[in-house]
Amino acid sequence: MKAWRVVRNARPSEALELLEVERPTPGPGEVRAHVAATACNFNEVDGCYGRYKTVDPPLPYTLGMEAVGVVDAVGQDAEAWLGRRVMLTGVGATGAHAEYVIGGQEMVFDCPDSLDEFEGAAFYFPFHVAYVSLIERGRLRSGETALIHAGAGGVGSAAIQLAKAQGARVIATAGSAEKLDFCRKLGADLAINYREDDFTEAVSEATEGRGVDVACDLVGGEITQQTMRCMAYNGRLMMTGFSGGIEAEDVAGLLPRPIIFGNFSLAGVLMTYGDPDRYGLIGIHVVPRERGESIHAALLDLHARRQIRPIVGRRASFADLPQELERMERRETMGRTILNWNRAAS
């Protein structure tokens, strides 16, 4: 089968090679899907450079987090998935950019007929991450105000829609006039160009000095520090991503004073489903699979009622993965870039 392999650490066009490899075999609790579409992720750019420490397998390895496809083989205890059309994450958050991918069933969900393969690939992570951030962990309620950074991106565009569906007022940030207009069309009540304007002042003015109830911070670093000034009393600042530079994930930089004086909560978001009892007090806590199933059902219901929709910003051939990741690195994308694998020869 064809698979995009990271063979060296460099920019995507230099790090990746499309190679022929053996089809993987699912183990216990795993499924194998024949891939129809995959999504491009910013952490895959980081993976090419070798700077994403959370997912850092030995070279060479097959890149890619999530895919949509039909399950054609299963391991022990995963027989119920055979033949079903699913959206899934590759084991270890790798392996998706290939004709066949192995996924643990705790990260596999049905892809209904209401979503084609491109929409399904654009639906899974953006909306699940946004839901865990805003609602599962952030407890966003109707009538509250949400601040969403990187609003034109995959998760950001989902978060805007989800917050509006929750009945919240939405303030979004983005880095260009085109992206600001995109955020407004998704439902943002106010869109701020963080490259040209001081978003903390704009938020203060828009909220009459009160601040926001929930912030979905998908950027990290200095943006996190500035967002602390935007929080309302009892607000919830959700650290959800590091698109501004993954290095910030491991750099000390949060001062206690603004958190204490701000009387708000600072919380982390890790959108991984599984059995919490397998982890214990080791510094990692996954979202219970049962909650993942409830979240998936809630999101599909919102989609059926046309309150949310996956944003396929760009469709491309699987052969264009390196170029598409570099477009993402240059901040030229909006919504999700989805790769079509239907034309790949086995």
42-67: pLDDT as tens digits = 999 999 999 988 888 999 999 999 99
Higher pLDDT, 225 or 246: 225
**DSSP code at position 346:** -
The mean pLDDT of 116-139, rounded to a whole number, is: 97
Q: Is residue 302 part of a domain?
A: no
Q: Tell me the percentage of the chain whose pLDDT exceeds 70.
A: 97
- 245 sits in the region (left: phi over 0; alpha: psi -120 to 50; else beta) called left
Local structure of 31: helix, strand or coil: strand
**pLDDT computed for residue 117 by the predictor:** 96
Question: What average pLDDT does this structure show over 241-265?
Answer: 80
In a domain, 296, yes or no: no
Structural domain includes residue 12: yes
Arithmetic mean of pLDDT, 231-239: 97
Full residue range of the structural domain in which residue 131 is found:
126-273
pLDDT value of residue 280: 62
Does residue 238 belong to any structural domain of this protein?
yes
Residue 287, domain member (yes or no): no
136 and 94 share one domain: no
Same domain for 53 and 134, yes or no, is: no
252, 273, 294 — which closes off a domain? 273
pLDDT at 250 over 80: no
pLDDT at site 323: 98
What mean pLDDT comes out for the span 304-317?
Answer: 97
Burial readout 38-58 (b: 16 or more C-beta within 10 A, e: otherwise): bbbbbbbbbbbeebbeebeee
Rounded average pLDDT over 249-256: 74
Same domain, 227 and 136: yes
CATH of the domain at 232: 3.40.50.720
Same domain as 261, residue 146:
yes
79 within domain boundaries = yes
**334 is a domain residue:** yes
pTM over 0.85: yes
Model pLDDT, residue 149: 97
Pair (164, 234) in one structural domain: yes
Q: Is residue 305 part of a domain?
A: no
Number of folded domains that form the chain: 2
Query: Are 282 and 305 a contacting pair, CB within 8 Å?
Result: no
**Strand ranges for the chain from DSSP E:** 2-6, 16-20, 30-39, 61-62, 66-74, 85-89, 100-104, 108-110, 145-148, 169-174, 190-193, 212-217, 231-239, 265-268, 273-274, 287-288, 312-317, 336-340
Domain CATH for 87: 3.90.180.10
In this structure, the answer to whether residues 45 and 20 fall within a common structural domain is yes
Gap between the Cα atoms of 298 and 144, Å rounded: 20
Q: Which of 256, 273, 290 is the last residue of a domain?
A: 273
Indicate whether 244 pLDDT > 90: no
Q: Which residues contact 342 (CB under 8 A, 6 or more apart)?
A: 36, 37, 117
Examine the domain organization and report whether 134 and 263 are in the same domain.
yes
How would you class 329 by CB atoms within 10 Å of its CB: exposed for 0-12, middle for 13-18, buried for 19 or more? middle
Q: Which of 81, 83, 127 is nearest to 103 (CA)?
A: 81
Pair (154, 263) in one structural domain: yes
Q: Can you give the pLDDT at residue 248?
A: 65
274 SS3 class? strand
Same domain for 135 and 267, yes or no, is yes
Number of other CB atoms surrounding residue 285 within 10 Å: 14
Residue 213 and residue 169 in one domain = yes
Cα(117)–Cα(131) distance, rounded to whole angstroms? 21
CB-facing half-sphere around the CA of 64: CA atoms within 13 A: 34
Q: Which of 6-20, 78-92, 232-246 has the lowest mean pLDDT?
A: 232-246
| Average pLDDT rounded to a whole number, residues 66-82 | 98
Q: Give helix then strand counts, H and E, for the chain.
A: 10, 18
If one counts every other C-beta atom within 10 angstroms of the C-beta of residue 128, the result is: 25
Domain boundary among 273, 299, 332: 273
Provide mean pLDDT across the span 178-185: 97
Q: What is the pLDDT of residues 133-180, one digit of tens each?
A: 999 999 999 999 999 999 999 999 999 999 999 999 999 999 999 999
Q: Which position has the token pair 């090679």?
A: 17
The pLDDT of residue 344 is above 70: no
| Same structural domain, 46 and 149 | no
**Are 82 and 104 in the same domain?**
yes
Lowest mean pLDDT among 36-45, 108-117, 272-281, 296-305: 272-281
